[in-house]
Structure 1
Amino acid sequence: MTHVTNVSDGAGAKRDPAAAQQGALARLAIAFTEWAEKWFPDAFVFVVLAVLAVALGNLATGATPAAIAKGFGAGFWTLIPFTMQMAMVAITGYVVASSPPATRLIEWIARFPQTGRGAVAFVAFVSMAASYFNWALSLVFGALLVRALARRTDLRMDYRAAGAAAYLGLGATWALGLSSSAAMLQANPASLPKSISDITGVIPLSQTIFLWQSFVMGGLIFAASIIIAYYSAPADRFVRTAQDYGIDLGEKQAEAPKQTRPGEWFEFSPVLPLLLVLLAVGFVYTEFASKDPLLVISNLNTYNFIFLMLGVLLHWNLRSFLGAVAKAVPTAGGVLIQFPLYGAIATMLTAVNGADGVSISHHLANIFVGIANTHTYPVVIGIYSAVLGFLVPSGGGKWIIEAPYVMQAAVDLKAHLGWAVQVYNAAEALPNLINPFWMLPLLGVLSLKARDIVGFCFTQLLVHVPLVLFLLWILAYTL
């Protein structure tokens, strides 16, 4: 892949001051990302190190090795229902985004933007809007939209900036919508670990993502992200297209499999998918007719069920659907292998007592209570959660680790528990903007490297950090 780095428009052409300033900012972000890519190991290594760090913390408080080992084993499988639910979020999002109707929709909406900068802003809008419903859907749909826009010969769009815009769904808004694992976990008593439920009880979505304060915060972040995406996108001679990077945008459509024997008729016929979806529609109707709609939406099983059946319908036949599922399963690998360790960490934090008879989470809660009050709590926890989110890129599973002591501190300070969840949600997205881990699925589709888009993501981060922390602080006064 050939990277074009010249910024002149011919001999003697001068640098545009705004472009030069943007270039310096991007170079700083690229240098940081290259350092992280060189020295940061796989995310699973961080989870293992976290387990060992908590074990050492248990020892430091006077817990016995036998109690620590028991806590590790006892907590390992406590999150199996939630692990499966979050894996299905990733799989169903991919299946829906890669369906034939979705790909045709992408080609259609790719005709709307009229300028390169407008195309970048449009990608940001679509990606963030999709992330409110499913973060995996936003990544895949956004990446495919960027490729469709890049194939337009009449549109000179910066491929790097558009790639960064496609990532904004996961880097800005995903945790504020229906794919927020923290909010969904708190609203589902069947999935809520005892280590958290004993402190908070069930917190309905009406007290988290459906607070009016949450809508205000999400709307302002949404608008700011689009504005930054538009004005940070290079224009004119500074644009770097997919062709400049030597990227082949030809969408090679694999020949559709064909029925070769009578026994395969059911696999290629739409009859079975339609009957299956018909049953699903009946179930969903009875759920909404007999229950509070917010309770129905907050049930992760129902949420995943709807997306799964939508995938069946959009693929139209079982062979196409099963092929999409096979391609989607690897996207859930990190969830499947990491979440059991999160469960073990949560138990070791909350159920393993030291020599003084209390757990690590109790000590951490006391620390937060000591340095924060009801009004400064959102800022303190927001900063802490953002920093930890870069070290442990969990996509929300980190909430299981943090919640016992973060929510205990909220209880002690008499802070709004629902807003405490939103503090985590908003701060959780911040490190994603510069964390290469979550960029990987997007970069694979775009044929780019993290260093190609992180400069634009870093520009977003510089605005998001003060904006998010300010909103978390000021809106807390209204609760």
Structure 2
Amino acid sequence: MSEPQAQGWPVRFALRSAAFAERWFPDAYVFAVAGVVLVAACAMGFGASPAETAHAFGEGFWSLIPFTMQMAFVVIGGYVVATAPVVARFIDLLARVPKTGRGAVVYVGLVSMLASLLSWGFSLVFGGLLVRALARRTDLAMDYRAAGASAYLGLGAVWAMGLSSSAAQLQANPASMPPGLVEITGVLPFSQTIFLWQSIVLTAILILASLVVAWLTAPTGDAARTARDFVDVDEAKAPALPPRTRPGEWLEYSPLLTVLLSLLAFGWLFGEFASKPAVSAIANLNTYNLLFLSLGLLLHWRPRSFLDAVSRAVPATTGVLIQFPLYGGIALILTHAVGRGGETLAHRLSEVFVQVASTDTFALVMGVYSAVLGFFVPSGGGKWIVEAPYVMQAANDLQFHLGWAVQVYNAAEALPNLINPFWMLPLLGVLGLRARDIVGFTFLQLLVHIPLVLGLLWVLGLTLQYVPPVAP
């Protein structure tokens, strides 16, 4: 009996899904373009003019440029820090913990999900770097695809249930809310959203279920494809700094500029963390990126070493730079291309779901809607700003617990992340993989998560009572 046949049925199913994805799943760029075409066709089908649809796409194309650069710097900053000698040794130390390839896959998933509850950006980069370190262990025979999929579980499973939840952060801070929303929802502190016991139970179950699936579907033995089938795993180790060859390079090899620039950067960071809770400060992408870049600069010590690390990191940002603008175009077509009756496609989607809901079924209906729309508008905070006014008004009308409505959105909005390459790109850049390499495994997670998430949202929602909005 061949090794693949000797695997359990979950592994065989995972291998078939992976093989199908490797053969048929398009490059993430093709996926994004197809999404643009589909959404544009739907918008025009509901009455938006071609000119208005094109205008919305053009306006949206550049709308995510700040976020695109932030995500690119997530990759660059994480790579620069990880390739600093002292951090590389720490990650290698963590990579000694697992004893088997299958155990390593589960270990990566646990680290990724726990880290994502604090900061999704940290989870994305750190999980990928941990996989790279584990991949250098020849004794593990770890399946690189399955480990990459586990590193993505933080973004695909529970990130929005933690402190970096954009929706929960926005609802707890009235100054951040768009006009009109605070009158509908009032202020919803964390005690009414991510710190509800129902939310904690839901998060714990999702983590446990994700780890079980990761364990059951991780190929072993000859069925496992190691990192050496995909990348040069030793690439992550920074080469030795070449010697200085001319007098004009002395500042590149001197720590003087590093010290002066670090004083400025860490001075600003100190002010941020002193004036805000640490979890709020680190959840801000600008703060997170500056922290990592500053740490990378300081840990590399010499500007030449830092610049060499940045040069090696930049190619990993290619997918982010060329594809994120397409998602910006999709978002504005959905929300700004007005069709018949003065309604956008996003509002028409909401009507389909909200009109058929009752108090008891609102969690299910809203969960399905958020998951479907999240596949086309992969932006936790930005999409909530679009959805919240009419979704939360429906929750008020149906007297559904407002804080749990936020958590319904959070849990369901993460579902499409499991197969949507939008959020995968920074991780894929670190791993040197393509979306098709890991989506076969994340697809199986999605099959388990859909009924589990929707069922728990419905059942746990029945334990909560409606509380009228509280004005700020």
Q: TM-score range by the shorter chain?
A: 0.7 to 0.9
Structure 1 counterpart of 2:336: 348
Residues 118, 186 of structure 1: alpha-carbon distance in 2 compared, 3 angstrom cutoff: same
3-state SS, counterpart of residue 42 of structure 1: helix
- Structure 2 residue corresponding to 1:118, chosen from 87, 103, 125: 103
1:57-85 CA deviation, whole Å, 9 max, x = no partner?
354xxxx8888788777777776666665
Residues 89, 238 of structure 1: alpha-carbon distance in 2 compared, 3 angstrom cutoff: closer
Q: How many residues align?
A: 460
Structure 2 counterpart of 1:240: 224
1:196-221 CA deviation, whole Å, 9 max, x = no partner?
77865776666544555443332322
Structure 1 counterpart of 2:468: none
Take 1:451 and 1:361, find their aligned partners in 2: how far apart are those partners?
A: 29
Structure 2 counterpart of 1:468: 453
- Structure 2 residue corresponding to 1:380, chosen from 357, 365, 381: 365
1:379 Cα offset (Å): 1.9
3-state SS, counterpart of residue 371 of structure 1: coil
1:319-353 CA deviation, whole Å, 9 max, x = no partner?
4444444534546415752464356336516xx58
- Structure 2 residue corresponding to 1:163, chosen from 138, 148, 161: 148
Matched, 1:221 2:206: yes
Take 1:80 and 1:359, find their aligned partners in 2: how far apart are those partners?
A: 23
3-state SS, counterpart of residue 371 of structure 2: helix
Take 1:39 and 1:166, find their aligned partners in 2: how far apart are those partners?
A: 18
Take 1:411 and 1:322, find their aligned partners in 2: how far apart are those partners?
A: 54
3-state SS, counterpart of residue 99 of structure 2: coil
3-state SS, counterpart of residue 373 of structure 1: coil
One-letter amino acid of the structure 2 residue matched with residue 101 of structure 1: V
Residues 69, 42 of structure 1: alpha-carbon distance in 2 compared, 3 angstrom cutoff: closer
1:465 Cα offset (Å): 1.9
Structure 1 counterpart of 2:415: 430
TM-score (norm 2): 0.77
Structure 2 counterpart of 1:337: 325
Take 1:284 and 1:147, find their aligned partners in 2: how far apart are those partners?
A: 29
3-state SS, counterpart of residue 112 of structure 1: coil
Q: Which range is displaced more, 372-381 or 85-94?
A: 85-94
Take 2:168 and 2:93, find their aligned partners in 1: how far apart are those partners?
A: 34
Cα pair 1:387 1:431 within 8 Å, conserved:
yes
- Structure 2 residue corresponding to 1:129, chosen from 95, 114, 118: 114
1:74-111 CA deviation, whole Å, 9 max, x = no partner?
77777666666555555544444444433222211111
**Runs of 5+ consecutive residues of structure 2 not aligned to the other structure:** 466-472
Take 1:401 and 1:213, find their aligned partners in 2: how far apart are those partners?
A: 26
* Residues 250-269 of structure 1 mapped to structure 2, 5 A cutoff: 250-251=234-235, 253-269=238-254
Residues 257, 47 of structure 1: alpha-carbon distance in 2 compared, 3 angstrom cutoff: farther
Matched, 1:478 2:459: no
Structure 1 counterpart of 2:30: 41
Residues 362, 240 of structure 1: alpha-carbon distance in 2 compared, 3 angstrom cutoff: closer
One-letter amino acid of the structure 2 residue matched with residue 19 of structure 1: G
Take 2:198 and 2:369, find their aligned partners in 1: how far apart are those partners?
A: 21
Residues 102, 452 of structure 1: alpha-carbon distance in 2 compared, 3 angstrom cutoff: same
- Structure 1 residue corresponding to 2:12, chosen from 3, 20, 23: 23
Q: Which range is displaced more, 199-208 or 147-156?
A: 199-208
- Aligned-residue CA RMSD in angstroms? 4.3
**Runs of 5+ consecutive residues of structure 1 not aligned to the other structure:** 9-14
1:160-180 CA deviation, whole Å, 9 max, x = no partner?
432332232332233334554
1:124 Cα offset (Å): 1.5
Take 1:285 and 1:107, find their aligned partners in 2: how far apart are those partners?
A: 29
One-letter amino acid of the structure 2 residue matched with residue 478 of structure 1: L
Cα pair 1:72 1:348 within 8 Å, conserved:
no
1:400-452 CA deviation, whole Å, 9 max, x = no partner?
55445444433443444444343233223323333455545545555556555
Residues 325, 200 of structure 1: alpha-carbon distance in 2 compared, 3 angstrom cutoff: farther
Cα pair 1:206 1:294 within 8 Å, conserved:
no
Cα pair 1:90 1:331 within 8 Å, conserved:
no
Residues 155, 402 of structure 1: alpha-carbon distance in 2 compared, 3 angstrom cutoff: same
1:330-380 CA deviation, whole Å, 9 max, x = no partner?
46415752464356336516xx5854x666655554443321123422222
TM-score (norm 1): 0.76
One-letter amino acid of the structure 2 residue matched with residue 341 of structure 1: G
Matched, 1:102 2:87: yes
Residues 145, 413 of structure 1: alpha-carbon distance in 2 compared, 3 angstrom cutoff: same
Take 1:202 and 1:80, find their aligned partners in 2: how far apart are those partners?
A: 30
